[in-house]
Amino acid sequence: MSVKSKAAGVKLLLFDVDGVFTDGTVTIHADGTESKTFGIRDGIAIVWAERAGLRVGLLSARTSATTPHRAAQLGITIVQQGVSNKLQGYERILAAQHVTDAEVAYMGDDIVDLAVLGRVGLSAAPADAVAEVRARVDWVSRAPGGRGAVRELIEVILRAQRRWKAIVAASGVS
């Protein structure tokens, strides 16, 4: 089945956080707090996906105070972090959202993502994902994690679902 066909059936987009939503860098400050950098273009694409009726969620092995803050800014209500077994976290999300594997797209960048990537309908990775992940996914972005990979995947899905033109039209461009 082609990427376009798989993308057409997606109802839920799931993303790893570190290395996908961010470039994988975590800055630890002297007081013990941490910060991460999130791409604005990735964020606006999340908003477009939600407006188009797609559900969006985050599935992260790490627990970070910055993750729920960014999720709230983007209206993302599905947030699983501190998940030592991502497949179990994924299965909890599927049950709660009442979707099947075929209706899920997941973007991951490292070995811990392989089990979930092997289950979903559309598996994806940023350009700078580890080789083992890039070799096993349906689609690899041109952009690295935290620098447009999320947006690229969302555009692929919205185009496959024939929703992209409405997004562009809503921006006021004729």
pLDDT at residue 28, rounded to an integer: 92
Q: Is residue 106 part of a domain?
A: no
pLDDT exceeds 70 at position 172:
no
Confidence of residue 169 (pLDDT cuts 50, 70, 90): confident
Walk across the sheet containing 78-80 and list its strands.
78-80, 55-59, 12-15, 104-107, 122-125, 139-140
Neighbours of 166 (CB within 10 A): 12
Specify the pLDDT at position 171: 75
Q: Is 55 helix (H, G, I), strand (E, B) or coil?
A: strand
- The Cα–Cα gap between 107 and 128 comes to 12
pLDDT at 168 over 90: no
Q: What is the pLDDT of residues 126-151, one digit of tens each?
A: 999 999 999 999 999 999 999 999 99
Sign of the four-CA dihedral 69, 99, 131, 80 = positive
Q: Per the domain annotation, does 131 fall within a domain?
A: yes
Domain residues for the domain of 6 are 1-57+75-84+123-168
pTM > 0.75: yes or no: yes
pLDDT in tens, 16-47: 999 999 999 989 999 988 889 999 999 999 99
Q: Which two tokens stand for residue 167?
A: 């997004």
Q: How far apart are CA 168 and CA 69, in angstroms?
A: 27
Enumerate residues 6+ apart whose C-beta is below 8 A from 159: 7
Kindly report, residue by residue over 81-109, the tens digit of the pLDDT: 999 899 999 999 999 999 999 999 999 99
Q: Is 5's pLDDT higher than 90?
A: yes
Do strands 55-59 and 12-15 pair parallel, antiparallel, or not at all (unpaired)? parallel
* Whether the predicted pLDDT of 174 surpasses 60: no
| 151 is a domain residue | yes
The mean pLDDT of the chain is 94
Q: Is the pLDDT of residue 67 over 60?
A: yes
In a domain, 98, yes or no: no
Specify which residues 56 forms β-bridges with: 13
Is 115 within the bounds of a domain? no
How many domains in the chain?
1
The β-bridge relationship of strands 78-80 and 34-35 is unpaired
- Write down the residue that tokens 């993750």 correspond to: 67
Q: Does 39 reside within a domain? A: yes
Query: Is residue 100 in some structural domain?
Result: no
CATH number, position 9? 3.40.50.1000
